[in-house]
């Protein structure tokens, strides 16, 4: 009797993820600069260094996250933290998380994160800020994974060098690597960012969304058929941990509005003409 052939193994079921930039996408500021005051109070900063960093931060916020502005902010922050004690930084961030970030978190982003989780999607925060700052914020938001910059450390202190800079194409590559490890279907996944510097991140997934986009990203979004979202309702992080009945109603209302907007975007994208794909798409 001829043995029956062994059936091929069933293909692995890929999962879906949502990738969120942090600064000016989930929160309305730069996460690194938001901790200037507690770092000053803790003796890590001088008033002169706060003023220099504040100027770079103001240019970043008002002018948009161009490559040049982001690089200047990166260099300034890298110089600033050289020699800092890593454990002290972690303690300050943990102790002052709410006062430094509140009320900077967009309610629309919170609702969208909740929608992705309700749909069974993993949520990943992808930020150029340092992991010591990004990870506590991501944990409070209920994110499943974090991609963040990693500073070089020697004998418990920052050397000023960067082991991994989560910026530009590096973000896209980190997303590909995480997808390979976690089994994400990038074609079915989504990404959200405010800046043209994150075009590679938006282009690596099947559903890109420009959030409060700068001018260059708005133009590219029109060419690529990416959705455009407006976030403008900040909420306190503390309210996310202990939501009141009113907070639940507000988030539920925002969630409904976001869902309606996404459905409308999906319908209009099926009829809107697509432009020529960019090299980053």
CA distances from 96 to 35, 72, 132, 171, 249 (A): 8, 26, 13, 28, 27
Annotated catalytic residue within 8, 23, 198, 239: 23
Structure tokens at 92: 């300050």
| Distance of alpha carbon 16 from alpha carbon 164, whole angstroms | 25
Q: Which residue has the higher pLDDT, 85 or 99?
A: 85
User: Once rounded to an integer, what is the mean pLDDT over residues 271-275?
Assistant: 37
Share of the chain above pLDDT 70, in %: 69
Q: Which of 171, 166, 182 is nearest to 122 (CA)?
A: 182
pLDDT for the residue numbered 263:
34
pLDDT for the residue numbered 253:
34
For residue 49, pLDDT over 50 is answered with yes
What confidence category does residue 166 fall into, taking pLDDT thresholds of 50, 70 and 90?
very high
Range with the poorest average pLDDT among 5-19, 149-163, 208-222:
5-19
pLDDT for the residue numbered 104:
82
In tens, the pLDDT along 123-135 reads 999 998 889 989 9
Share of the chain above pLDDT 90, in %: 44
Identify the H or E element spanning 18: strand 17-21
Note if 21 is an active site residue.
yes
Annotated catalytic residue within 21, 194, 198, 239: 21
Cβ atoms of 122 and 18 within 8 Å: the answer is yes
Out of 47-51, 163-167, 254-258, the most confident range is 163-167
User: Once rounded to an integer, what is the mean pLDDT over residues 176-193?
Assistant: 98
Tell how far CA 86 is from the center of its chain. Answer: 22
pLDDT for the residue numbered 6:
57
Structure tokens at 126: 């992808």
User: Once rounded to an integer, what is the mean pLDDT over residues 62-79?
Assistant: 64
User: Once rounded to an integer, what is the mean pLDDT over residues 217-235?
Assistant: 94
Structure tokens at 281: 């798409």
For residue 194, pLDDT over 80 is answered with yes
Note if 23 is an active site residue.
yes
């Amino acid at each position: 009797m001829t043995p029956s052939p062994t059936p091929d193994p069933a293909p692995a079921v890929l999962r879906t993820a949502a990738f969120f930039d942090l600064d000016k996408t989930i929160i309305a500021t730069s996460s690194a600069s938001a901790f200037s005051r507690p770092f000053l109070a803790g003796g890590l900063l001088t008033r002169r260094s706060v003023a220099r960093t504040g100027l770079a931060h103001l240019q970043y916020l008002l002018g948009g996250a161009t490559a040049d502005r982001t690089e200047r902010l990166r260099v300034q922050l890298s110089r600033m933290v050289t020699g800092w004690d890593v454990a002290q930084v972690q303690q300050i961030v943990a102790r002052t998380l709410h006062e430094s970030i509140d009320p900077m978190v967009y309610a629309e982003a919170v609702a969208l994160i909740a929608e992705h989780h309700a749909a069974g999607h993993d949520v990943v925060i992808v930020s150029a800020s340092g992991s010591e700052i990004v990870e506590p914020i991501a944990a409070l938001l209920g994110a499943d994974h974090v991609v963040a910059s990693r500073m070089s450390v020697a004998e418990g202190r920052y050397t000023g060098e960067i082991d991994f800079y989560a910026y530009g194409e590096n973000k896209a590559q980190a997303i590909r690597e995480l997808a390979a490890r976690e089994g994400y279907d990038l074609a079915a996944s989504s990404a959200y960012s405010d800046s043209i510097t994150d075009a590679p991140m938006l282009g690596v997934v099947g559903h890109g969304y420009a959030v409060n986009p700068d001018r260059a990203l708005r133009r590219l979004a029109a060419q690529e058929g990416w959705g455009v979202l407006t976030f403008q309702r900040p909420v306190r992080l503390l309210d996310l941990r202990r939501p009141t009945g009113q907070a639940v109603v507000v988030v539920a209302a925002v969630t409904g509005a976001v869902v309606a907007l996404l459905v409308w975007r999906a319908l209009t994208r099926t009829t809107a003409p697509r432009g020529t794909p960019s090299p980053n798409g």
